[in-house]
Amino acid sequence: MKKNNTFNYLLALFVLLPSIITTQAASWASAGNIIAHLNPKNLTWNRATKTVASVTAGAGALKMYQAVRTKRATAHALAVNKPVIEQVKNSPQQKRVICFDLHYVVAEFNIKRMLWTALKNPSCLKLLLYPRMIPTIIRAISQDRGSQAVLEAAQEQYPEARERTQHLYSLGMEISAQLTPIQGTIDLAQKLMAQGHKVIFVSNIETDGWKLFIRDFPMFAACPRYVVGHENGWLKKPSKEYFQDFLEKSVKLGYRATDERPLFVDDKPENCRAAQETNQMDAIIFSSPEQLVQDFAAMGITVK
């Protein structure tokens, strides 16, 4: 009985912790109920079900918060994008090099599918059986090197757990690959390609993550991409060096001509600012596919 209670405790904690985090301040009241329900001495599936219901109620408040946040983000994007639009529309360049970020521009994380992918694979809990590895993982993450570097650090320090860490890494990549397409952006990108514009994906995603993205979004398999890894020294957005490296490599690899000025689309203002600071590319903030179409039209990029 004690063993079953412990298992239930861990499983419920694994299921509910992401929900607690994502509901942020809106669900602190629900968090109090969760703590009360997660007493391993009296945990029952009935109580766990009630806890999930509490978190769901908190998620409703989060949805309202996200709606307000989206409205503010759209207003901010309109104000910031205006001078860029004015500059680009006067450009003589007929065919553009358009660089898209991935997450929350082309696709967004599907939290439900991510949780289900984790839950249906019991090996997620195996990391708890190897607590000595956790400080190594945290140290590697703090160096901001990427998932592959975290894996390499863990395998170097604990070679006897090499197979386990490789499996957990692959599972982690699969979980992070559970995406919901933002169909409006996908349709727009495909139309741009059909009209002769060059589409490049510029993202903090890593090489293994890109492979999974292409598996699920094969329509972009032929598109050039600039991703994080050994080949770029683990540079990441919003580093200005990231964009300078992209500009150099995109010419060397034949993604664009030297005189072609890329237009970068990202949902994060800090990434757009870093791109603009290179003085070699333009950048606009993404708020929605509909707004992006309007911004493109204002720049003279007609999508048919």
Assigned domain for 238 exists: yes
Q: Which domain holds residue 22?
A: 2-66
Q: What is the CATH number of the domain that holds 240?
A: 3.40.50.1000
What's residue 183's pLDDT? Answer: 96
Position with higher pLDDT, 5 vs 125: 125
Based on the fold, state whether residues 171 and 184 are members of the same structural domain: no
Based on the fold, state whether residues 216 and 119 are members of the same structural domain: no
Based on the fold, state whether residues 148 and 252 are members of the same structural domain: no
What's residue 192's pLDDT? Answer: 95
With 70 as the cut, is the pLDDT of residue 119 above it? yes
Of 159, 176, 193, the residue at which a domain comes to its end is 176
Assigned domain for 97 exists: yes
Assigned domain for 72 exists: no
Tell me the pLDDT tens digit for each residue of 218-268: 999 999 999 877 677 778 898 999 999 999 999 998 999 888 899 999 999
Assigned domain for 76 exists: no
What pairing do the DSSP bridges indicate for beta strands 282-285 and 225-228?
A: unpaired
289, two tokens? 């596919």
Assigned domain for 168 exists: yes
Based on the fold, state whether residues 104 and 10 are members of the same structural domain: no
With 70 as the cut, is the pLDDT of residue 193 above it? yes
Tell me the pLDDT tens digit for each residue of 141-156: 555 556 666 777 777 7
User: According to DSSP H, which parts of the chain are helical?
Assistant: 2-23, 28-37, 45-89, 111-119, 133-142, 147-157, 162-176, 183-194, 207-216, 240-252, 269-276, 289-298
122, two tokens? 């019991």
Based on the fold, state whether residues 202 and 286 are members of the same structural domain: yes
Mean pLDDT of 207-227: 92
What's residue 42's pLDDT? Answer: 45
With 90 as the cut, is the pLDDT of residue 104 above it? yes
Tell me the pLDDT tens digit for each residue of 46-103: 555 555 555 555 556 656 655 666 666 666 666 666 667 767 766 656 788 999 999 9
With 80 as the cut, is the pLDDT of residue 289 above it? yes
Tell me the pLDDT band of 41, cut-offs 50, 70 and 90.
Answer: very low
Q: What is the distance between the alpha carbons of residues 298 and 282, in angstroms, rounded to a whole number?
A: 14
Based on the fold, state whether residues 201 and 258 are members of the same structural domain: yes
Based on the fold, state whether residues 191 and 286 are members of the same structural domain: yes
Position with higher pLDDT, 100 vs 2: 100
With 50 as the cut, is the pLDDT of residue 298 above it? yes
Based on the fold, state whether residues 118 and 221 are members of the same structural domain: no
Of 150, 176, 202, the residue at which a domain comes to its end is 176
With 50 as the cut, is the pLDDT of residue 177 above it? yes
Please name the residue that has the structure tokens 């409006």. Answer: 184
What's residue 117's pLDDT? Answer: 85
What's residue 59's pLDDT? Answer: 56
Tell me the pLDDT tens digit for each residue of 11-27: 444 544 444 444 433 33
Based on the fold, state whether residues 98 and 212 are members of the same structural domain: yes
Based on the fold, state whether residues 56 and 141 are members of the same structural domain: no
In what helix (H) or strand (E) does residue 64 lie, and over which residues does it extend?
A: helix 45-89
Of 176, 194, 228, the residue at which a domain comes to its end is 176
Q: Which are the contacts of 22, defined by CB distance < 8 A and separation ≥ 6?
A: 59, 62, 111
Assigned domain for 73 exists: no
Assigned domain for 82 exists: no
Based on the fold, state whether residues 136 and 164 are members of the same structural domain: yes
Assigned domain for 252 exists: yes
Task: Please state, rounded to an integer, the average pLDDT across all residues of the chain.
Answer: 75
Q: Domain count of the chain? A: 3
With 90 as the cut, is the pLDDT of residue 28 above it? no
Q: What is the distance between the alpha carbons of residues 91 and 250, in angstroms, rounded to a whole number?
A: 20
Based on the fold, state whether residues 261 and 239 are members of the same structural domain: yes
